[in-house]
Amino acid sequence: MKVSYYPGCTLKSNAKNFEDSALCALRELGVDVQELRRWNCCGTVYSLTTDDLMHHLASVRNLIRVKEEQADSVMTLCAMCYNTLKRVNERIKADPDSLQKIHKFMDEEKIAYRGDVKVRHLLELLREDVKFEAIGKKVKKPLHNLKVASYYGCLLVRPKEIGLDDMENPTVLDDLMAVLGANPVDFPYKTECCGAYLTVDKPETVADRTFSILTSARGRGAEVVSVSCPLCAFNLDHRQKETAKKYSEFKKIPILYFTQLLAIAMGCGEESLRLDLHYVDPQPLLRQKGLI
């Protein structure tokens, strides 16, 4: 199975642990991942105004790059890239006038893009193409006795027409954790916003959210929280420093990308996990569980 892959900016830096673990797990699952030869920033957020086409161009250019490589779909790992690329794609499909204006602006592009690339998240590929049952059969190191709370955040599930699972009560990450042998832990804050980019101008707000989200997960018995977005990962992991300063009763908890847990289960080596990039060190827990 061949897949075109759009990484996005943070997967190549702070979230290298997300990318390396995903790529190793996909190799083990027999998926041939081909990173786009050229790509640019997706824009990170979808412009919500009716009249702002300029901010959709970055996404459209990436979708043109996919077409140039004769692919009809593109996979993302980052939830923000997924949401932005997919929403822009839907927007231009539904609005021929905007599309025409965009074409006029991008007259140097050789392809007049029509919205015919399918934007998919890795989780969709795993669920629909590889299939969870097949993943379960390939598990080399089951995540036995590991209690994992899956945090979905906003952009994997909202808005409804973009989301890849139920927008109020998603379970796809929990279903994946179950086939990997872990004990999924459901918790009421799994789709509550972490504060996203407020981390730049209001880190204290993010500390409040991190406190609520992680305290809820821990209260339900979670030993680790898994995430699928580099910004959520930063807020829930690195902002635990500010959270601990603000809330004396706060207890730190390791944050892992779901792909790191998948990679462990698929038998990938520790070098693909990049555990050095974490603020809260997940190694003591993983060692205690015999997973590294």
Partner 1 sequence: MRTILSKKKIRDDFVRKIEEISGQKLLACYQCGKCSAGCPAVAEMDILPNQVIRYAQLGFKEELLEAKSVWICASCYTCNVRCPKGIKIAEVMEAVRQVLLRKRKDHVEVPKLSAEDKASVPAIALISSFRKFTS
Site string for partner 1, 183-222 (x = CB under 8 A): --------xxx-xxxxxxxx--x--xx-------------
Q: Which of 196, 201, 207 is nearest to 246 (CA)?
A: 207
Q: What is the 3-state secondary structure (H, E, C) of 32-77?
A: EEEECCCCCCCCCCCCCCCCCCHHHHHHHHHHHHHHHCCCCEEEEC
10 or 71: whose CB is closer to partner 1? 10
List 48, 108, 133, 248, residue binding partner 1 (CB under 8 A): 48
List 17, 22, 23, 43, residue binding partner 1 (CB under 8 A): 43
Site stretch for partner 1 (CB under 8 A), options 128-136, 140-148, 151-159, 279-287: 151-159
Q: In 3-state terms, the chain is what percent helix, strand and coil (to 5)? A: 45, 10, 40
SS3 194: coil
7 binds partner 1 (CB under 8 A): no
Q: Which of 2, 17, 4, 1 is nearest to 262 (CA)?
A: 17
11 or 31: whose CB is closer to partner 1? 11
* Minimum CB–partner distance for residue 51 and partner 1 (Å): 6
List 78, 177, 273, 291, residue binding partner 1 (CB under 8 A): 78
Angle of helix 16-28 relative to helix 258-265, nearest 10 degrees? 40
List 29, 33, 45, 275, residue binding partner 1 (CB under 8 A): 45
Q: Which of 31, 26, 25 is nearest to 268 (CA)?
A: 25
Q: Cβ distance 134 to 176 under 8 Å?
A: no
Write out the residues near partner 1 by the rule CB under 8 A: 8-10, 13-15, 41, 43-45, 47-52, 55, 78, 80, 154, 158-160, 167-168, 191-193, 195-202, 205, 208-209, 230-231, 234
